[in-house]
Amino acid sequence: MKKACVILANGCEEVEAVTPIDYLRRVGVEVVAAGLDGREAVGGHGLVIGADAALDDIDDEEFDCIVVPGGGGGAQAIAGSEVATAMLKRQAAAGGLIAAICAAPALVLGEACGLLAGRCFTCYPGLEGRVPEGRFEPSRVVVDRDLITARGPGCAGEFAVAIARVLVGDEKADELAAAALLG
């Protein structure tokens, strides 16, 4: 069974956090929702999201994918976390899948981790200038080998399906997209 970690931070965009957790679980991926500040996070719009574990308690575990939701406050918190950035750098060095959406590609993967040099990516409109070393594409979701990025909350379903496609294959991803009524 494939295993993914979704990092939850206070100020995260709720849709971008919950959609990958939900959709990946629907296709049989074991998902660990990991709280940056313990066992819950308060999203940018006040929704309290429960975590399965604190990130500090699982940072040495291996995952097939690490998902970084956006939301300005959440992305800044993750970017400022030594535990989260070290975990992402280890994942990248091992060639593991990393998926980030909204502000997270620019603030976390680009600025904090330096993982976008020469890579194709997308992010929330206006943040692309913060990653001049990357190759910005204005698509809703961009897949560049072991890196998946997406623009924002309206792309969360497509983003989660793209992650599922890499982790469990086209057939299950297509079934997921159809069941969720995604184009």
Which tokens is 1 given?
């069974």
The dihedrals phi and psi of 166, each to the nearest 5 degrees, come to -70, -40
Q: How many CB atoms lie within 10 A of CB 131?
A: 22
Query: H or E segment at 168?
Result: helix 156-168
5 has catalytic annotation: no
**Which residue in 102, 113, 123, 155 is the catalytic one?**
102
| Token pair 């970690």: residue | 5
CB 93 within 8 A of CB 100: no
3-state SS assignment for residue 143: strand
Positions annotated as catalytic residues are: 102
